[in-house]
Chains A and B, each alone.
Chain A
């Protein structure tokens, strides 16, 4: 019961502290708000870049073109040979008839030209579409596939895919580094702002110490206050994230520049980011207070 009363008092005192020292609280809250908005932008960017990378990686396929003279048995043999190559995830055979039909379905121009071709005249080749388990080994897999007898050509967007992915990778890493740096800077800034708040309340702390408050008695209300400041400071960044991202998503039709670069669906993405922002705000606020009050506890 006594513990509950103490906790209740601490929470009440923390709220009182926030409102009684409102101008300083506002400074802390603004500091948290501004940095969390930048953190939110970095997060959204980082997750989307990660998403683009995954989409591109999933989409990259090695297409192996087969000699049209091959018999069904020889094709089966090639299938067996592909199946034993390391790092091959999935592979699928598409016959020239299927490809021709798909092309004719997709365009009237193709249809007008292709419908007159006889089986011998059709230059389209049978293919295997091969997916790899890891985009980084696509070169090795492609060259192994190329070695197989009966395969005349291998295509997988050589070079470009790797470049795109390494560009995404760099952006992703930059985002992660900036998020970490921003969190550290925020923690430091908040700690200093809260330090000013606490310095202005040195009298209160010294009275608490004099009447026999333990370090924990003194520290807890300030830590809860930091938690409240952090939570209040994350409100605007959360609103900005939810409305901002939804607006961007709607205006860009869910994609960036090309249909291949799809944005992450807003739900539940924005709520996850909001929770992360709230978590960072609260933790950073608590840590800032803990650090700031520490020096006043030495007797």
Chain B
């Protein structure tokens, strides 16, 4: 079942740079998709348009049945609640503990305290950080911080998890640990789109791979076909 559809999408920035052009893409529910390509090929623009940080100049982007390109600014939060986003630089609140960082994503929606407690501990267990609930981000390693960021991204039970180079700041071993966590989340039914530069990871996981170049899809390898 289709979760994301992009039709003839084009994105030109105000500076005149065209980051994406003639892009057509379809991603089904439950898929794990890597997006790769050289720097400046439009990977980041593509995923920013998915969570509506950027708007397409033309074309249509449907995420979970919603035309995100046409979404008004003040309605964007409705789509964001269905999408989890993980970044290279983790984007954690430095003055909040691990527990508070994850709970934050539930608290702003008025989820009852007991429910927050249960959900936060469940996702922290999933990412293997249940024993670090009281630690602050500065007390954690890069891999641990990224796991907290993943926990925060999935605690709301999003249908889609977008990862923008989540292993970019991590060493190979830690990167693989993070990938195992993401695989685990994918097995539970969450669709994952991940932008990466790491060919090793892409080869190791053997998932669908979309190759971008100059804002266009130049290759779309089905699961298990990328070598």
Contacts and interface: CB of A to CB of B under 8 A. Distances in A.
Interface of A: 1-3, 5-6, 9, 20, 203-204, 206-215, 217, 298-299
A212 B78 contact: yes
Contact of A213 (B52, B77, B113): B77
16 contacts: A6-B109, A9-B108, A9-B110, A204-B93, A206-B91, A207-B91, A208-B104, A208-B108, A210-B80, A211-B80, A212-B83, A212-B156, A213-B77, A214-B77, A215-B74, A299-B73
A202 B223 CA distance: 39
B81 interface: yes
A25 to B, nearest CB: 13
Given A203-B91, A209-B80, A212-B78, A299 B52 contact: yes
Interface in B15-59: 51-53
A211 B110 contact: no
Nearest to A4: B110
Nearest to B91: A207
Contacts of A3: 110
Interface residues of B, number: 31
A17 to B, nearest CB: 10
Given A1-B112, A6-B108, 16 more contacts: A5-B111, A6-B109, A9-B107, A20-B95, A203-B91, A204-B93, A207-B91, A209-B77, A210-B91, A211-B84, A211-B104, A211-B105, A211-B152, A212-B82, A212-B109, A213-B108
Contact of B77 (A203, A212, A298): A212
Contact of A299 (B53, B92, B105, B156): B53
A212 B51 CA distance: 10
Nearest to A6: B110
A215 B80 CA distance: 13
B76 interface: yes
B90 to A, nearest CB: 10
Contacts of B93: 203-204, 207
B129 interface: no
A210 B105 CA distance: 10
Contacts of A217: 77, 108-109
Contacts of B111: 5
- Chain A contact residues: over half helix, strand or loop, or mixed? helix
Nearest to A217: B108
A210 B51 contact: yes
B61 to A, nearest CB: 15
Contacts of B217: none
Contact of A210 (B73, B74, B85): B85
Given A20-B95, A212-B81, A298-B73, A5 B105 contact: no
A170 B70 CA distance: 59
A204 B100 CA distance: 13
Interface in B145-171: 152-153, 156
A5 B108 contact: no
A206 B84 CA distance: 14
A259 to B, nearest CB: 61
A6 to B, nearest CB: 4
Contacts of A214: 74, 77
B71 to A, nearest CB: 10
Interface string B180-198: 0000000000000000000
A172 B153 CA distance: 60
A20 B97 CA distance: 13
Nearest to B79: A212
A211 B73 contact: no
A92 B107 CA distance: 74
Interface in B96-119: 104-105, 107-113
Contacts of A298: 73
A149 to B, nearest CB: 80
A53 B73 CA distance: 56
A2 B110 contact: yes
Contacts of B107: 9
A5 B110 contact: yes
A21 B80 CA distance: 28
Contacts of B79: 212
